[in-house]
Structures are given as structure tokens and as C-alpha cells.
Amino acid sequence: MIAIIGAMEEEVAAILKYLEAPRTTTIKNIVFHQGTMNGKAVVVFQSGIGLVMAAMSLTVCLDHFEISHVINIGTAGGFHPDQKVLDLVIPDRLTYHDFDITPFGNERNFGPKNRFIYHADQTLIQAFKPLISYERVWYGPMVSGNVFVTTQKQVDEILSHYPEAQCVDMEGTALANVASSVGLPFIIIRSLSDIVTHPDNSITFYEYLEKASARSAQLCHDFVSRMV
């Protein structure tokens, strides 16, 4: 069974439109939507916002369902001025931007001395690429933290440690952490709902959230049919 996770109601609602023969199960106040998608057994659920909610919800899922792969869909905030809203980002590796234990020798970067870097499954990424050959797509690292990034000062601080980062969110790395800890392959599919440095960022986020959610959900649906 494939676990498909979105953090926000809009993100989950977008993917539920593709769910066939749906049935719901509520476990520890989390609603799990089971069904099929392109002939594959899936369970779709909303993690909630933030690192703790993401890790907790996936852990509950793994305790009650036999999961073979993890797909995290939804939106993210882009870091670079040449990115555009609704561009796709497919992270190859992830880490926490606000996790700091440098006194214990763990560096805040994407180098070998950061023990908290999680790598997306390359087989899944390669299988996904044919679906987006004509899209604007960014590949590279993503960072996550328990803060909604809206200011240039926040961006500058993050990029001073993680200049390679393509985007930021509040759940992806926690999901990657849990999946990696139990040896499950995962892929994260993000559609940019806003560009953090855009002067009207707060307006852009709400304006494009639904569109970005719909785009990542559609690609997730198409991708499931390609999974073995």
C-alpha cells in the first residue's frame, strides 16, 4: 500500500478527487482514506502542519497499515527570484533548517558532517521524470522547519547555511526522517505556492495554494500508475 500525505486540507482534498472506492478509518484522531488509485492500493491522510504533526501522523500510519512507499504531495515556498509560482520542486535530499546542535559536531549544511540529511529514492525520482518533461522543474535540496518563512531576513539566514536549497516547507524533512528510519522509499512532490522573496508573498500564497495543490495532486495520480 502506498501512503500519500498532505499537510493541509487543500492539499488532501485535491488528491481525494482521484481516490476510487474510498473508505475512511479514524485512528488517534487522524482520518485515513483508503482506496485505489490507478489500480494501486493507497491510503491518503492529512498530517497537519509542522514537523511534529508530520512525524506523528506517519508513525501512526505505519503502525496500522502495511506501507511500501511514501509520497508527500503539496506546496512549498520557493527561495529564488527566477522561480515562478506553480513551478515543481522534486527534492533529492532534505534536512532541518532550524535544528542546531553544532556544539556536538553536527554542521548546519548539506555536507558530510550533518547527520540529519535524508535522501529521496532515486528510482522513484527517475520514474517520475517522464511525467514532467515539459514542466518547469527544480531538482535539489529542500529544507524544513517549524516556521512559515516570509521575510528576506529569514531567507538570508537559511541560505547562509543551506545555499543549495530550492525551497522550504514545514513537514517534508520529518516525513523523510520517519520513512528513512524504517527503510521505506519516499518521494516528495512540491508545487510552489509562493516565492518567499516576492513583495506580495502573503497574498500570493493564499491565491495560489489551491492551484498548486491541484497540480501536485494530478501529478501524484499520474505517477502512481507508473509505480511497481
Q: Which one of 66, 135, 194, 200 is the catalytic residue?
A: 194
Judge whether 11 counts as a catalytic residue.
yes
Judge whether 194 counts as a catalytic residue.
yes
d(CA 16, CA 13): 5
Q: Which one of 9, 10, 11, 200 is the catalytic residue?
A: 11
Phi then psi dihedrals of residue 129, to 5 deg: -55, -40
Annotated catalytic residues are 11, 194
